[in-house]
Amino acid sequence: MKMIYALFGRPFYWAETKEQMYLIGVKSLFLIILTGVFAGMGFALAFAVELADFGAKNYLGRIMAISIVRELGPVLSGLMIAARVAAGITAEIGAMKSSDQLDAMVAFGIDPMKKVVVPRLISLMVMVPSLTVVMDVIAIIGGWFVASFVSNVSSNLYWSTVREKLIFGNMFLGLLKPAAFSLIIASISCYKGFTSEGGTKGVGRATTESVVLSSITILIVNFFITKVIFATIKGYL
């Protein structure tokens, strides 16, 4: 709650936010691209083999679009960013706490919530959905590669069937999830950093807990969002 409250009102640390956007967004890009390419190709390969048994290989594009945009893209992006960023945030804040840097900030009239937490929260809220879109695009391109060069599905057919499923409902679900995941990653990683105790050992323990808890929470929340939203916007899917 403190984190959300700190979002509003001045001061706003724009320089720190830009720096965090770079660290979280740009620095995660390679990881996201790599994950997207191979996840997309792997999925396409597995689906193509199964669909071929039913003579339904032409549906590969549709299945890829639905599974990647609704589920795979958001979840994989969330997990990858949780692994890379949550660990970093918890370790950084934990180290600042154990070396009294957070208290030093307070002594100098700076609110650590606004200076440390808010820039990371905003950066995650912007960057996790953005990276998810990148992951979606790359994974679908990976799927196209397998469809065209391995499974002999024509490019035109693949892309036209992908486009059929890039509709409001799927896109909404595919962007709502990463927005929720960004809140999960920010709140858990910052909380674990602020509450870490016991020096470097404690920071290490908090970092591990932060990644594990973020990952599990992402998977659980993903299921419930799918369940609730699917029922709500079924007509748009």
Phi, psi at 167, each rounded to 5°: -110, 170
Burial of 101 (0-12, 13-18, 19+ CB in 10 A): middle
Residue 43: alpha-carbon gap to chain centroid: 19
Q: Is 231 in the site for other proteins (CB under 8 A)?
A: no
Q: Is 101 in the site for other proteins (CB under 8 A)?
A: yes
What is residue 110's three-state secondary structure?
Answer: coil
CB of 163 to other proteins, least distance (A): 46
Q: By CB under 8 A, what part of segment 109-128 binds other proteins?
A: 109-111
CB of 109 to other proteins, least distance (A): 5
Among 108, 156, 231, 234, binds other proteins (CB under 8 A): 108
Note whether 99 and 195 are within 8 A (CB): no
CB of 43 to other proteins, least distance (A): 40
Q: Is 17 in the site for other proteins (CB under 8 A)?
A: no
* Interface pattern 160-179 for other proteins (x via CB under 8 A): --------------------
Phi, psi at 228, each rounded to 5°: -70, -50
Size of the site for other proteins (CB under 8 A): 12
Note whether 33 and 80 are within 8 A (CB): no
Q: Which two tokens stand for residue 185?
A: 């990653």
DSSP 192: H
Instruction: Give the C-alpha separation, 84 to 125, whole Å.
Output: 16
CB of 211 to other proteins, least distance (A): 22
Among 14, 18, 22, 103, binds other proteins (CB under 8 A): 103
Among 26, 46, 99, 201, binds other proteins (CB under 8 A): 99
Q: Which residues of the chain form contacts with other proteins (CB under 8 A)? A: 95, 99-101, 103-104, 106-111
